[in-house]
Structure formats: structure tokens, C-alpha cells
Amino acid sequence: MDKGIVLITGATAGIGEATAELLAENGFRLILTGRRSDRLEAMKTRLGKLTAVHTLCFDIRNREEVNEAIGSLPGEWKEINILLNNAGLAAGMDHFHECDIDDWERMIDTNLRGLLYISRKVAPGMIERGSGHIVNVGSIAGREMYERGNVYSATKHAVEALSRGMRIDMLEHGVKVSTVSPGLVETEFSVVRFRGDKERAKKPYLGMKPLSGRDVAEAILFMLTRPPHVSIQDLLIMPAAQATALTVHRE
């Protein structure tokens, strides 16, 4: 049975890719987005065997690219039922006074501006149809601060705050807004954060079992498949070995 159209930002890796796979297995039609066109095409071939897939290749930091991409959707793909705002990154992990300001701008432009651009473009269609669901990927870093987390954490706190504001503003229009906030998930996140340094990137996961993208995808699927009158507003999902951002039990 058709479950509607889901647009996933950052579908080329990690949580976005795992969610695309799980939603394809569960009968959702997918619009997959990201900057790496080769990965998008490979996913279209792979998941296209399970469901209808459309791909859009653009940089979410660029407002014109976002508007053009959404504007380019063919008629049968225009009515987006669910928007998964997942694209995001941490760039660097340094004390505030030593951070690279370019890193701050990348995080603010991706995690915040990008999320705002695409949500502002997609939400009016949901409001017109009187239904829709926006799921924003937050983080444990959006719930608490930790040493050297400064601007990444601030962007995720902003995602939490924005989700609450979006929920209030769109309540009367039948649009659900949810946040899913994971703890440590082993994806490309850490490799990106530490600029391709694979050894350093392994450190957060040493001696413990982190979440997989699939674990988070399963939580998202649960949120998306509640009956119309039920809204999971906020979901914190952590590895069993992690109590807070920095309290991790390692063997």
C-alpha cells in the first residue's frame, strides 16, 4: 500500500541512507537528496526495485538551488507528505576561542539555514492540503552542551527550538512536526567532523556499541506510522552504553 511521498535530505549516507532503505521496504515513495550525484543514482537503481524513487542533487546551503530543485519536481512528485530534515554535519571539535570560523559557517548554513530553506519551500503545499509531517533530526547535542561542542551544539539547540515553533505555527493546518534526537551513531559523521582523519573518527565509538543508521531509521518509521491523531513530538534515542553526551560506558 502506498504510504505517501517522503523527501529525505542527506540521503546519500548514514541516517538518511538507512531511513531511505527502511522506508522503501515499507512502501513509501522517496525523493532522495544530497550533493553526491553518483550515490544518488546508485540508490535510485537499488531502491527503485522496491519503490518509486526520484533524486534531486543540490547543496542545501544554497537557497536558489533549494528553490530550483523543489520547483523542478514533476507533477506526480510535487505533493510531498513527509519531509525528513536530516542533512547536517559537525565541522571540527575545538575550544571556542580556537575554532575555525569557516567551520561555524558550514554548520550554521547546513544545519540551520538549509533546514529553513527547504522547510519554507515544502511546508506551504502541506498546509494547502491540510496534512503533512516534518521530522527534524536534532541530537543529544541539542539537549545539552559539552566541551568543544559549542557551535555544533548551538545549531542543534536551534533545531529543537525551531521544531517547537514550527509545530505551534502549523498546528491548525494539520501539519505534524517532530524531532528525533540521537546520541552516538556510527555513520560518516565523525569522518566529516575530523576532516577525513579515519583514526580520530573511530575514537568516539571505541569500546562501546553505537547506534546504527538503521536503529534511528526504525525510530523514524515508528513516528511516521502513528495514526493521524497521534504525534510523537520528540524522541531521544541513545546507545544503551551512553547516558549523556559525554557519559559513555566503555569496555
**Binding at 137: pick from ligand 8X3, ligand NDP, none (beta carbon under 5-8 Å per type):** ligand NDP
How far is residue 80's CA from residue 76's CA, in Å, rounded to a whole number?
Answer: 10
Smallest distance, Å, CB 130 to ligand NDP?
Answer: 28
Determine, following the binding rule CB under 6 A, whether residue 211 of this chain makes contact with ligand 8X3: no
Those residues with Cβ within 8 angstroms of residue 219's Cβ, 6 or more apart along the chain or in another chain: 180, 235, 237
Determine, following the binding rule CB under 6 A, whether residue 166 of this chain makes contact with ligand 8X3: no
**Binding at 155: pick from ligand NDP, ligand 8X3, none (beta carbon under 5-8 Å per type):** none
Determine, following the binding rule CB under 6 A, whether residue 187 of this chain makes contact with ligand 8X3: no
Largest CA distance in the chain: 53
Q: What is the number of other CB atoms lying within 10 angstroms of the CB of residue 46?
A: 13
Strands 132-137 and 175-182: parallel
* Residue 212 DSSP code: P
Determine, following the binding rule CB under 6 A, whether residue 248 of this chain makes contact with ligand 8X3: no
**Binding at 245: pick from ligand NDP, ligand 8X3, none (beta carbon under 5-8 Å per type):** ligand 8X3
Determine, following the binding rule CB under 6 A, whether residue 219 of this chain makes contact with ligand 8X3: no
Active site residues: 152
* Residue 87 DSSP code: -
Q: Which of 31, 159, 245, 248 binds ligand 8X3 (CB under 6 A)?
A: 245
Q: Which of 140, 166, 223, 238 binds ligand 8X3 (CB under 6 A)?
A: 140
Residues that bind ligand NDP (CB under 6 A): 10-16, 34-36, 59-61, 86-89, 110, 137, 139, 182, 184-185, 187-189, 192
Nearest CA to 132 among 87, 79, 179, 86? 79
Phi and psi, residue 245, nearest 5°: -50, -40
Q: Is 121 exposed, middle or buried (0-12, 13-18, 19+ CB in 10 A)?
A: middle
- Specify the residue, 26 or 62, whose C-beta has the smaller distance to ligand NDP: 62
Please give the size of the binding site for ligand 8X3, defined by CB under 6 A: 5
How far is residue 241's CA from residue 251's CA, in Å, rounded to a whole number?
Answer: 10
Binding site for ligand 8X3 (CB under 6 A): 139-141, 149, 245
